[in-house]
């Protein structure tokens, strides 16, 4: 009712409908945890292309299986990735005169200006930093100095060159200074440089020199103008342990649907302890862990392969999937020499591509799940091999003459026929996780609302509308909504005792689409029949 009725007549008032939308969450945001050439440690970085990965983490690197996994992910249809760089801190002091700190971050000095790399690792040994005053006498510099309220003699330039394998990249920052203004050198480098920052003191604040640093001079040995950084020991090559794989960092991201942990080294395996921690986190985030097959499986007969080798058992294995064998593809860093790689990143890309083209309820397998950029798979699996591995919950990567390399399996690690798990199929499990996460987020509004029939009716309407939209898209079995799903929230699900305890119970059921694994065609001879 209007707040006050002051005159005889008609009053208009808008009343809230009570309809709240349940919005479906993203389905294929893929987290990669592993070694990278450079980039932040302990911070998840969201990327939408491999170009973003090159800019933030240095691109393809021989010592990083993760870099190739991310490349395969985007090449095969991946849309969004979250990168967590794992790094092992050094435990020894360098003896070659380098200035590597205990954190593995390289430091170097351009006259009085102390700088440090923005991330740890030996990549910083390829940095060259120089200081010059070439623009100090220009009209632009004079104008900037006037606007900042400083003298032109306070201005200097900083150039950073990174000698990457693909070519040199140079950053140049002109007209920076040491005064308290927007062009102060530490502020400019922190915000705009990909490679360096001003070294921080024990209090965490940048340590600025009291005098403008002198212009860099040429090195007598190399002739380079500037100062080289050097990390000393090959810190990036140290073996990673379960300690370096911190999955809790992903808590800082809104959504994670798939998790990939490529092996520490090419030809090696990800430790079972790492996979165990990753699976625990995947269950917590309603995500799927994509497991790479052990290298030893490639030399075994199909009947000798055991999923128990992975150490992932119990109901949690519903949230894990393994693809076998490893793939062979050209390595751009070795003149396109065909080499073996782990398939997890590539398979994550296929899953993302299937979600986009068909929906999360479609199994990411079959002729449509062709692998891009793959030369071959070894060993080459036969129908008999597939018939042995599929009932164990091992998804095969097969090679067919017309289709090339395709994913030929759609089961979780609980997909063994002997287990009889209701979530044996990957598409069914992912659909359930999608519904759980979407409805979890879409019902937050109900907390602290009066626990009575009006609330229950709103819940039924909101969730029912969401489920109906999915039914129209073909996400469920059944010719009618009644056959496909139900949403129940009433006095039968929420008793008087529940109301007293502040509990509202919602029961949701759905009829999932299950993949047609076995297509049986029966032929009968029709002889002697006349029309």
Q: Is the pLDDT score of 17 beyond 80?
A: no
Rounded to whole angstroms, how far apart are CA atoms 367 and 87? 39
- Chain-centre distance of CA 112, in angstroms? 40
DSSP letter at 512?
B
Nearest of 29, 18, 26, 23 to residue 469 by alpha carbon = 23
Residue 503: the pLDDT is: 96
Cα 226 to Cα 170: distance, rounded to the nearest angstrom = 13
| Least confident range of 2-11, 312-321, 393-402 | 2-11
Of 111-120, 215-224, 357-366, 460-469, the range with the lowest mean pLDDT is 215-224
Domain 30-87+239-427, CATH among 3.40.50.720, 3.40.50.11780, 3.40.50.620, 1.20.1250.20: 3.40.50.11780
Mean pLDDT for 238-254 is 90
pLDDT band at 93; cut points 50, 70, 90:
low
Distance CA 222, CA 239 (A): 33
Residue 231 pLDDT exceeds 90: no
- The rounded distance, in Å, linking the Cα atoms of 371 and 100 is 42
- Label the pairing between strands 258-260 and 30-34: parallel
Longest dimension (CA), the chain: 107
Summarised one tens digit per residue, pLDDT across range 472-530 is 999 999 999 999 999 999 999 999 999 999 999 999 999 999 888 777 878 888 776 65
Per-residue pLDDT at 138 exceeds 60: yes
Alpha-carbon gap, residue 359 to 430, rounded angstroms: 11
For residue 97, is pLDDT > 60?
no
DSSP code at position 144: H
Q: Where in the chain is the domain with CATH 3.40.50.11780?
A: 30-87+239-427
Alpha helices in 297-416 (DSSP H): 344-357, 383-389
- The span from the CA of 94 to the CA of 109, in Å, is 18
68-88 pLDDT tens trace: 999 999 999 999 999 999 988
pLDDT band for position 241 (cuts 50, 70, 90): confident
* Amino acid 326: pLDDT: 96
pLDDT level of residue 64 (50, 70, 90 thresholds): very high
Reply yes or no on whether the pLDDT at 108 is more than 90.
Answer: no
Please give the pLDDT value at position 98.
52
DSSP annotation of 213 reads: P
465 neighbors 23 (Cβ within 8 angstroms)? no
Report whether pLDDT(300) > 70. yes
Query: Strand 395-400 vs strand 320-324: parallel, antiparallel, or unpaired?
Result: parallel
Mean per-residue pLDDT of the chain: 91
The C-alpha atoms of residue 81 and residue 83 are separated, in whole angstroms, by 6
Mean pLDDT confidence for 353-364: 96
Confidence class for position 233, pLDDT limits 50, 70, 90? very low
Instruction: With a cut of 70, say whether residue 457 has pLDDT above it.
Output: yes
pLDDT digits (tens, 9 = 90+) for 28-59: 999 999 999 999 998 999 999 999 999 999 99
E strand or H helix that includes residue 32: strand 30-34
Per-residue pLDDT tens over the stretch 432-445: 999 999 999 999 99
Among 5-14, 388-397, 462-471, the least confident range: 5-14
Q: Determine the pLDDT at residue 497.
A: 96
């Amino acid at each position: 009712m209007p707040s006050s009725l002051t005159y005889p007549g008609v009053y208009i008032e808008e009343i809230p409908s009570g309809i709240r939308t349940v919005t479906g969450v993203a389905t294929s945001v893929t987290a990669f945890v592993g070694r990278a050439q450079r980039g932040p440690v302990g911070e998840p970085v969201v990327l939408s292309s491999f170009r973003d990965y090159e800019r933030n983490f240095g691109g393809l690197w021989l010592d990083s299986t993760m870099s190739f996994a991310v490349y395969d992910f985007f090449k095969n249809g991946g849309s969004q990735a979250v990168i967590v760089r794992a790094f092992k801190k050094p435990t020894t002091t360098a003896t070659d005169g380098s200035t590597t700190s205990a954190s593995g971050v390289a430091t170097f000095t351009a006259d009085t200006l102390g700088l440090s790399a923005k991330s740890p690792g030996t990549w910083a040994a390829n940095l060259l930093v120089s200081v010059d005053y070439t623009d100090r006498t220009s009209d632009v510099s004079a104008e900037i100095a006037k606007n900042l309220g400083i003298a032109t003699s306070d201005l200097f330039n900083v150039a950073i060159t990174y000698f990457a394998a693909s070519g040199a990249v140079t950053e140049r920052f002109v007209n920076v200074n040491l005064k308290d203004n927007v062009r102060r050198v530490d502020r400019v480098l922190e915000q705009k440089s990909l490679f360096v920052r001003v070294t921080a003191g024990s209090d965490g604040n940048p340590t600025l020199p009291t005098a403008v640093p002198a212009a860099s001079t040429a090195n007598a040995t190399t002739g380079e103008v500037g100062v080289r950084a050097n990390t000393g020991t090959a810190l990036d090559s140290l073996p990673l342990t379960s300690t370096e794989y911190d999955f809790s960092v992903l808590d800082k991201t809104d959504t994670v649907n798939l998790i990939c942990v490529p092996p520490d080294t090419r030809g090696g395996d990800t430790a079972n302890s790492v996979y165990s921690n990753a699976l625990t986190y995947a269950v917590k985030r309603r995500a799927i862990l994509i497991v790479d097959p052990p290298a030893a499986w490639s030399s075994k007969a199909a009947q000798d392969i055991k999923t128990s080798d992975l150490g992932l058992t119990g109901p949690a294995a519903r949230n894990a999937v393994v693809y076998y064998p490893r793939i062979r593809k050209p390595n751009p860093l070795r003149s396109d020499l065909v080499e073996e790689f782990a398939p997890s990143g590539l398979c994550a890309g296929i899953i993302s591509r299937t979600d986009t083209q068909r929906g999360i309820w479609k199994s990411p397998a079959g002729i449509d799940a062709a692998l891009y950029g793959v030369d071959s798979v070894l060993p080459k699996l036969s129908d008999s091999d597939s018939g042995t591995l599929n009932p164990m919950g091992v998804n095969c990567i097969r090679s067919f003459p017309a289709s090339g390399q395709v994913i030929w399996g759609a089961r979780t690690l609980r997909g063994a026929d002997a287990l009889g798990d209701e979530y044996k199929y990957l598409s069914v499990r992912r659909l359930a996780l999608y519904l759980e996460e979407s409805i979890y987020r879409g019902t937050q509004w109900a907390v602290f609302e009066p626990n009575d029939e009006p609330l229950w009716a709103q819940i039924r309407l909101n969730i029912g509308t969401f489920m109906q939209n999915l039914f129209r898209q073909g996400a469920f079995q059944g010719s009618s909504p009644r056959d496909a799903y139900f949403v129940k929230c009433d006095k039968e699900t929420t008793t008087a005792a529940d109301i007293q305890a502040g509990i509202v119970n919602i029961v949701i059921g759905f009829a999932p689409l299950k993949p047609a694994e076995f297509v049986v065609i029966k032929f009968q001879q029709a002889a002697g029949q006349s029309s």
